[in-house]
Chain A
Amino acid sequence: MDKREMKGVIEAVLFAAGDPVSLKDLCGILGMDKRDVLLVMKEMKDWYNYERRGLQLIEAEGYFQFSTRPEYYEYIQKLHSPQRKQGLSQAALETLAIIAYKQPITRAEVDSIRGVQSDSAISTLIEKRLIHEVDRMDTIGRPILYGTTVDFLKYFGLSTVEELPEILEEQITYLNENTR
């Protein structure tokens, strides 16, 4: 199978699936190893971006999916207005940020950073499938440890948690140096 055909197959499979397709599944479908498939995926991703296509190939934790390009949202809206999902509340966003950077983390730890109870924020985030239980802490009561999900990455357009915006540690150190 040449590269062109591979790209055709990948495109067809992703279009038909709708749901994110794992790299593993794609390898199985193409009968090729991860390295080759990834190489082609990368080329495709770049091509879609370079050509400013209406679709873009997105990746999150080894899953691939097509989505429309955000820039064209207003045009799609002219056709019919897709239900605009309500953004997260400030409390939920704050809680999510803490979980994202400090995962795995217990609810009590989140509470102590925020100085306020985070029960409802956490249940909202679970409901929206942005966080999930990853483990239990090995202490009294075995509290739940929360972590972020693949949906979380998709929600914020990230491929991995490593891509999270950098926390402004340097600004804090700067403050430290200038006030002490």
Chain B
Amino acid sequence: MSYNVKLEVFEGPFDLLYHLIEKNEVDIYDIPIADITRQYLEYLDELSFFDIELASEFLVMAATLLHIKSRMLLPNQDAKDQEEEIDPRQQLIERLIEYKKYKDVTGEFRKREEVFQKRLFREPLPVDTYEDHDPIILDVDVSDLCQAFAQAMKKYISLYNSDYDLKKSLEKERISVAERIMHIRNTLKRSGSISFKGLVKDCATRENVIATFLALLELIKGRKITIEQTAVFGDIMIKSRNSKGWK
């Protein structure tokens, strides 16, 4: 049975190296190279890489560390000639410090990210909000439609009051909004346009008129039709929005 130990994820060889230096609390300018190299290699053994690219980056660093270690072990033959011996660790230290600069500042970035992610922005308004590209729909608003509806209702109420047979009305014709939508669609498919009066003319009951009215509102909401009124209190023309008719 094998255990999968989840190790801390390092962003790269410098990240790992830096972690080791901090963990050992050693001076960045005086890295105990033998110790750190050993620990570095131990980590590499434990890490299981799937990413060959990333693995190779870590291995390059391991090779660098080993190289430095070997140079430090060997007596420097030129040392006698040269006034000042160059520390083989120098270049690595410089790179580590450069890396640390940016690593440290990421904490600040993270803090700012957290705060400023909490600002919300408005989405820009759609362009056609400024300019209505459909002047026909501007001609009539829902209140005009309501007015026409009220007129139709008035007519039916007067009909009801005069010669409406109560007994007959018990047999209600159940008309749904969906049916009226289908009716309007079919009518428009046939003739392209129809007037509001024409549409309610053949409605036998009040429910039917209401259903028709609701069907119209539904179709307007779905932007399936346009309504147009040429004169105040004039008849309202209903047209299919798609000039080619219903698909």
Residue-by-residue, is A86-115 near B (CB-CB < 8 Å gives 1, otherwise 0)? 011011011011100100000000001111
* Residues 143-180 of chain A, each 1 if its beta carbon lies under 8 Å from chain B, else 0: 00000000000111110000001011101100110011
Binds B, one of A4-12, A13-21, A28-36: A13-21
A78 at the interface (CB under 8 A from B): no
Chain B residue nearest in CB terms to A66: B122
B57: CB under 8 A from chain A?
A: yes
CA gap between A114 and B13 in the complex, in Å: 8
Query: CB of A85 within 8 A of chain B?
Result: yes
0 or 1 for each of A62-89: is its CB under 8 Å from B? (1 = yes): 0001111111010010000010110110
Say how far A48's CB is from chain B's closest CB, in angstroms: 13
Q: Is the CB of A157 within 8 A of B13?
A: no
Q: How far is the CB of A86 from chain B (nearest CB, A)?
A: 9
> Out of B57, B115, B124, which one reaches A117, CB within 8 Å?
B57
Tell whether, in the assembled complex, residue B124 and residue A19 are in contact, meaning their CB atoms are under 8 Å apart: yes
Interface size class of B (residues with CB under 8 A): 35 or more
Given A87-B114, A116-B57, also A165-B119 (CB < 8 A): no
The interface residues of chain B lying within 8 Å CB-to-CB of A126 are none
CB distance from B64 to the nearest CB of A (A): 9
Interface size on A (CB < 8 Å)?
50
Closest Cβ of chain A to B10, distance in Å, is 9
**A91 to B105, alpha carbons, bound, how many Å?**
13
* Chain A residues whose C-beta falls within 8 Å of the C-beta of B27 in the assembled complex: 179
Query: Which residues of A come within 8 Å of B, CB atoms?
Result: 15-19, 56, 58, 65-71, 73, 76, 82, 84-85, 87-88, 90-91, 93-94, 96-98, 101, 112-117, 154-158, 165, 167-169, 171-172, 175-176, 179-180
- B residues with CB within 8 A of A: 11-15, 27-30, 53-54, 57, 61, 95, 97-106, 108-110, 112-125
